[in-house]
Amino acid sequence: MPPPPPPSSRVPRAPFRSRTTVKLGFVPLSDSAPLTVARELGLYSKEGLDVVLTRELGWASIREKLAYQDLDAAHAPAPMLFRMAMGLDGRPVDVFTSYYLNAGGNAVTLSAALRRMGIRSAADLKRLVRSKHPERLIFAVVSLYSCHYFLLRRWLLSGGIDPDKEVLIAVLPPEQMLSSLQNGHIEGFCSGEPWNSAAVLAGAGWCPSTSVSLAPAHPEKILLTRTAFAERWPDENAALLRAIDQACQWCEDPANRPSLVDLLASCRCFRDSRAALRPALLGPFDCGDGNRIAAQDLLRFHGPAINAPTEEKTQWLLAQMRHAKLLTAERAPQGAFRPDFLEEALGPPPPAPKAVAAPKKRKVAMA
């Protein structure tokens, strides 16, 4: 049994008697680990919560179930908040976030066939794209409203490829990435783990770039919550944030990573995925081309700059969405980010350590 998480540095609140079942959705990815950890370590029940975890195939299912109140909250790509709250492709839905679940954790994966053709970089790919290739190459992301889409566009642009005109970018659920690559339906994808590692292990793909080189420690997944749930059940919402925060702390600790791999691999939704889970959680992350990256550099779950919904993260996300031509707004919709809920759940953040002033140099009298 994995060791319990370390005690929180914030002032704890007493557990309460749960008044309702909390329905929590997730897509089985390495960065959904805190939701499963909180269940397996008993952190939900410690907070008095009855949580039902619901596995979903992809982000379209998460979006629909939040919109139709089949879920109270969910693990989701950060840009989905804007998509739903602003009604960018449908009616607006009253949702918000108080918590980022992780930072980084993504990679661009290309087919082994492209590597056999001599493709080693985005610049190499540009020469192929602008050759007499009969059709536009097809790449995939898990959603246009995701950091995966932003990162894939950034990588293509780094080689001089216009992502809007010179390639096609399709949307696929994460679990369909590997089979689509193996069957030749796509030439590459950008996804979270463990699907990049699964492609490398299967000999089907390799990773020319990751979050580390494209956008280090970028905001990735959030706890996307229905506003009606948080306002009607504020104690349950606070308890959910406390349980997940403790789980994120536990997942961040390198000493717990072997137990984390064991814990996830024993769950039904990650069965037979142990080898693919190890690179991003234990490291090193094998890019399949001789390059390796430390797990702690690729995927982060907890830290002073990781979890809080700061204005800096909001502006970064808005800038990426404008650059990808998904919106023109300069500001997030009112109520989309609720740091007040996080402070209510965890207490005010601990004060930053005071900087120690450098000692003044003494003047040395000249003889």
Please say whether the beta carbons of 155 and 214 come within 8 A: yes
6 found inside a domain: no
pLDDT value of position 135: 82
Residue 177: give the domain boundaries: 106-214
Q: Is residue 189 part of a domain?
A: yes
pLDDT of residue 7: 53
> Quick check: is 249 in a domain?
yes
State whether 244 and 135 are in the same domain: no
The answer as to whether 1 is a domain residue is no
Question: What's the pLDDT score for residue 344?
Answer: 94
Quick check: is 3 in a domain?
no
Instruction: Please tell me whether residues 236 and 179 are part of one structural domain.
Output: no
Domain identity same for 338 and 231: yes
Phi/psi of residue 342, nearest 5 degrees = -65, -40
Same domain, residue pair 224 and 296 = yes
268 and 258 in a common domain: yes
Is 243 found in the same domain as 206? no
Q: Say whether both 65 and 114 belong to one domain.
A: no
Q: Smallest Cα–Cα separation from 307: which of 271, 258, 354, 342?
A: 342
Question: In the sheet that 188-192 helps form, which strands lie side by side, from edge to edge?
Answer: 168-171, 138-141, 188-192, 106-111, 205-210
E strand map for 28-105: 50-55, 73-77, 95-100, 103-104
The number of domains in the chain is: 2
From 185, 214, 243, give the residue that closes a domain: 214
**Considering the domain boundaries, does residue 36 fall inside one?**
yes
Is there a single domain that holds both residue 121 and residue 253?
no
What CATH number has the domain bearing residue 342? Answer: 3.40.190.10
In a domain, 199, yes or no: yes
State whether residue 247 is helix, strand or coil.
helix
pTM of the model: 0.90
Beta pairing partners, 299: 104
- Structural domain ending residue among the three candidates 157, 189, 214: 214
Q: Cα 29 from chain centroid?
A: 9
One digit per residue, the tens of pLDDT, for the chain of length 367 reads 556 665 555 545 544 444 568 999 999 999 999 999 999 999 999 999 999 999 999 999 999 999 999 999 999 999 999 999 999 988 999 999 999 999 999 999 999 999 999 999 999 999 999 986 668 999 999 999 999 999 999 999 999 999 999 999 999 999 999 999 999 999 999 999 999 999 999 999 999 999 999 999 999 999 999 999 999 999 999 999 999 999 999 999 999 999 999 999 999 888 888 999 999 999 999 999 999 999 999 999 999 899 999 999 999 999 999 999 999 888 998 999 999 999 999 988 666 545 444 444 444 443 3
The neighbour count for residue 222, using CB atoms within 10 Å, is: 28
Q: Do 149 and 34 share a structural domain?
A: no
Last residue of a domain, one of 152, 184, 214: 214
Q: Which residues lie below 8 Å from residue 306, measured CB to CB, with a gap of 6+? A: 100, 102, 103, 217, 248, 300
Q: Are residues 100 and 226 in the same domain?
A: yes
Question: Which of 250, 305, 357 is closest to 35 using CA atoms?
Answer: 250
Predicted local distance difference test score (pLDDT) of residue 4 = 62
- Both 47 and 113 in one domain: the answer is no
pLDDT at 5: 60
The confidence score (pLDDT) of residue 9 equals 52
Residues 227, 336 within the same domain: yes
In a domain, 295, yes or no: yes
Question: How many other β-carbons are positioned within 10 Å of the β-carbon of residue 6?
Answer: 13
